[in-house]
């Protein structure tokens, strides 16, 4: 190994220059995953984005010099804050505004959540509970969903929302993915039981809307759930 390190640098660099394209090409071709991706992109992986136009978020064309001016033997007076945006992007007190929110939006949300809770309780819908790290539906879960499927079939006008929830362990981000897997597992089983898929929608709340906020398995097991809700409003 010692000899490798002391090999004259120009020789290594020279051979590296000659062969490096081959190395990198080899690396790209070796992954089956990469090949599938390239095929996907060749089939037209690019598509139109969101329709609304939004502001330029790039750094290009902006003054990137620091807003710091350095110490001076005869320092000039610098006025701080309160003057709105100072041109170099510094967020100072007085120029951070609350985003415009829908007036009464929070109250409307709360009213709709209560209406959904009332409708779901009246329907006698049962939730499904999951094991740690798991999105497999247990025997108990199948039992609950058999009950739920009967209700949906006899109430064909109803739209059902399946919320996927997780306990507080793990990352916020990955729990959103796990919550979606749980919600989709519930949906798929209901469809197996003969429920029309158009009556079902799924949403993941991850660990962001827990039913119970204590730390401990009693609480965790309450929060790992597929929660069935009768949709109210949009």
Partner 1 sequence: MTLRTLVIAGFCALVGLVWIIESGAADVFLEAARPDFQKIPLAIAGIENLGGTESPEGRVKLGSRIEEVLKTDVRRSLVFALVDVNGLGIKAGQLGAEPDPSFKHAVGNGVSVVVWGRAGIKSGNKDSDVNMDGYVYDAGNNEVVGGKRYVGSTSVVRLMAHRFADELVFRYTGEPGIARTKIAYVSELGSARELFIMDYDGYDPRQLTADGFLNLMPRWSPDRRFLVFTTYRNRNTQDIDLLELATGKRWTLVSQGGLNITPALSPDGNFLAYSSSSEGNAELYRMDTHTKAVQRLTTNAGGDLSPSWAPSGRELAFTSDRSGGPQVFLISADGSNVRRLTFEGDYNAAPAWSPRGNWIAYVCRTPRKEYKLCLITPDGQKRVQLTTGPGVDDSPSWSPDGRHIVFSSTADGKSHIYMINTDGKDLERITFTGTHNSAPTWSPAS
- The dihedral formed by the CA atoms of 53, 57, 60 and 65, expressed in degrees to the nearest 10: 150
Q: Which is nearer to partner 1, 168 or 221 (CB)?
A: 168
Q: Which is nearer to partner 1, 127 or 180 (CB)?
A: 180
Q: Measured from the CB of residue 104, what is the shortest distance to partner 1 in angstroms?
A: 9
Q: Which is nearer to partner 1, 76 or 122 (CB)?
A: 76
DSSP 199: G
Q: Measured from the CB of residue 128, what is the shortest distance to partner 1 in angstroms?
A: 19
Contacts of 116-120 spanning 24+ positions with Cβ under 8 A: 116/161, 116/229, 116/230, 116/231, 116/232, 117/229, 119/230, 119/232, 120/228, 120/229, 120/230
**Residues 162, 228 contacting (CB under 8 angstroms):** yes
Q: Which is nearer to partner 1, 143 or 169 (CB)?
A: 169
Q: Measured from the CB of residue 13, what is the shortest distance to partner 1 in angstroms?
A: 11
- Radius of gyration over alpha carbons of the chain, in Å? 28
Q: Measured from the CB of residue 222, what is the shortest distance to partner 1 in angstroms?
A: 16
């Amino acid at each position: 190994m010692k000899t490798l390190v002391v090999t004259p640098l120009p020789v290594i660099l020279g051979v590296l220059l000659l062969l490096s394209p081959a190395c990198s090409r080899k690396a790209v071709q070796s992954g089956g995953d990469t090949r599938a991706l390239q095929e996907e992109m060749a089939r037209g992986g690019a598509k139109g984005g969101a329709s609304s136009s939004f502001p330029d978020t790039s750094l290009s064309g902006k003054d990137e010099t620091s807003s710091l001016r350095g110490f001076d033997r005869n320092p000039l007076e610098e006025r701080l804050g309160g003057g709105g945006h100072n041109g170099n992007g510094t967020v100072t007190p007085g120029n951070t505004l609350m985003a415009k929110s829908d007036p009464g939006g929070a109250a409307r949300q709360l009213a709709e959540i209560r209406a959904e809770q009332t409708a779901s309780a009246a329907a006698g819908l049962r939730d499904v509970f999951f094991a740690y790290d798991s999105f497999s539906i247990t025997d108990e879960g199948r039992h609950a969903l058999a009950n739920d499927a009967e209700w949906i079939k006899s109430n064909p006008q109803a739209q059902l929302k399946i919320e996927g929830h997780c306990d507080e362990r793990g990352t916020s981000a990955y729990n959103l993915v796990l919550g979606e897997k749980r919600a989709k597992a519930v949906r798929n089983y209901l469809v197996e039981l003969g429920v029309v898929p158009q009556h079902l929608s799924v949403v993941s709340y991850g660990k962001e809307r827990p039913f119970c906020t204590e730390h401990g398995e009693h609480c965790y097991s309450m929060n790992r759930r597929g929660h069935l809700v009768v949709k109210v409003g949009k």
